[in-house]
Amino acid sequence: MLEMTREEFEELVAEALDRIPPELTRLMDNVAVFVEDEPPAGDPDLLGLYEGTPLTERGEWYAGVLPDRITVYRGPTLRLCDTREDVVAETEVTVVHEIAHHFGIDDARLHALGYG
């Protein structure tokens, strides 16, 4: 397995977030991004997870709620990748994939776009 400290991986996630076009990041609302070492036990290969209410489903009722949560998992990403360059690319795909869920884009559409 490729070795990378949590700090190094967090920096890659931050860099992937920085590459999101500003016109999209301005639209993101009430969402926080986290890095965890491992996903829930029932899904050991999970690279990222979006938990929350997509922007497309929010209505007048949406107020006073905790932020949506995007989590990127270091362990499965490092086990999947062979090189640091692979980790950079996979982290970017994962970040874009989870942000797309925040915008209401489902897995089928993301797979069609190459972000599966």
Cα→Cα distances 28→25, 74, 83, 113, Å: 5, 23, 31, 20
First to last CA, the chain: 22
Answer whether residue 115 shows pLDDT above 80.
no
Q: The pTM is what? A: 0.93
Q: Where residue 113 falls among pLDDT bands split at 50, 70, 90?
A: confident
CA dihedral 38, 41, 44, 49 (to 10 degrees): -70
Which tokens hold the place of 7?
A: 């700090």
Q: What does the pLDDT read at residue 67?
A: 96
pLDDT at 111: 86
From residue 36, how far is each of 30, 60, 88 by CA, in Å?
20, 32, 16
What are the pLDDT digits (tens) for 28-86? 999 999 999 999 999 999 999 999 999 999 999 999 999 999 999 999 999 999 999 99
For 1-18, how does the pLDDT look when each residue is reduced to its tens digit (9 = 90+)?
899 999 999 999 999 999
